[in-house]
Amino acid sequence: MNKRKKAALRRQKNYLILFNVLTSVILAICIILSSFLGIMAYVTKDMKQGHISNDHDELGISSEIANSLPKDIINIALFGIDTRDRKATDRKKALSGNSDTIIIVSINTNDNTIKLTSILRDSWVPVNGSYHKINAAYAGGGPQRAIHTLNNNFGLNIKDYVSVSLFQMKNVLEILGGVDIEITEKERQWINRIANDPYDGFAGGYLEKAGLVHLNATQALSYSRIRYDSEETRVLRQQKVLSCMFEKLKTYPKTKYPELLRQVLANVETSMTYDEILSYAPMLAVSGLHLQKTSIPGQEVVAKGGIFEDTRGGWVWKYDIEAAKKYIYRWIYGIY
């Protein structure tokens, strides 16, 4: 065999090897992509996608705010809806009513910190042109009006939300297996009363002792709803439950994330896409990551609580909204 034929055979062999390698790579990519899409379809198949406007004016975001606030801090509104409808798959029924829990979740993508700002539900603020309790914004116009109210009053740039009803929150707590929390004897008595109330309880079983205890889903939900002492303390309890859930989530096996995410997404409504949600997952692996919490009004914002002539017989919190805005800026952005 002459040299020319040998060279031709070598080239043919090299082409065959290259073809096989490329084919293998392409096949591997297809398999991986198919697997990912299969997982994504599985995870999101029961996801309740909410829709709100992208228009800044309709969300209450001024052009000045949109251009001036730091881009590495993302604000998301978390609404807990006061409905006991057990038909969690019926979004209109399960997610209608007042937003008795209002929390601004601020995610700093630069230094991997998360801050929670709870807005007390009885805050007396402008809602759609006239003063109301802030929790009425959701009942009157859904998440879009609720977000508009937050942005318009506190100068924020919230564009996304997560909403969950009482019944759905119980489901999420069940998925995580409950939480471990330190409670007082008075709180133990109230947990038993609320959890087993024939009207809006979920038969949570009897809690026999105070101290550091494990609360099942119904008991944890009942703990977060206690308000015999004050609305401020109730908010602190809500934040405490969220913190415990967050700490438990950080220790959750990563191999179980797809199933966990699927179950959680089936019990909430959100305007965020799956990819956006997934982009925050790496933060859970950051060592020392923890939640920081505050409330409006609180020690930093002076407020008067009571029934006033213009509140139509309702008990409300009145405070300087501009002062609250300045405090929120310092808290979330470090802007003075």
- Does residue 91 have a pLDDT over 50? no
Q: What pLDDT does residue 88 have? A: 43
Nearest one of 43, 282, 49 to 160, comparing CA atoms: 49
Task: Give the tens place of pLDDT for each residue, 11-66.
Answer: 555 555 555 555 555 555 544 444 444 555 655 666 777 889 999 999 999 888 87
Instruction: Compute CA distances 278 → 80, 191, 259, 275, whole Å.
Output: 22, 34, 13, 5
pLDDT of residue 37: 45
Structure tokens at 334: 């470090």
| Overall average pLDDT of the 113-138 stretch | 93
- Please tell me the predicted confidence (pLDDT) of residue 31: 46
Structure tokens at 201: 């309880």
CATH of domain 51-333: 3.40.630.190
| Residue 146 · residue 158 · CB < 8 Å | no
State the residue for tokens 């009513």. 97
- Grouping H, G, I as helix, E, B as strand and the rest as coil, residue 287 is coil
Per mean pLDDT, which range of 133-142, 231-240, 318-327 is the poorest?
231-240
- Residues 240-261 have pLDDT tens digits of 888 888 888 777 777 777 777 7
Kindly state the average pLDDT of the residues 63-91: 75
Output Rg (C-alpha) for the chain, integer angstroms.
25
Range 275-289 average pLDDT: 69
pLDDT in tens, 190-234: 999 988 887 766 788 889 999 999 999 999 989 988 888 877 888
What is residue 297's DSSP assignment? S
Cα 158 to Cα 62: distance, rounded to the nearest angstrom: 11
In this predicted structure, what is the pLDDT of residue 276?
Answer: 81
Ranked by mean pLDDT, the top range of 3-17, 231-245, 286-300 is 231-245
Say what the pLDDT of residue 287 is: 57
pLDDT at position 284 is 62
Return d(Cα 38, Cα 222) in angstroms, integer.
37
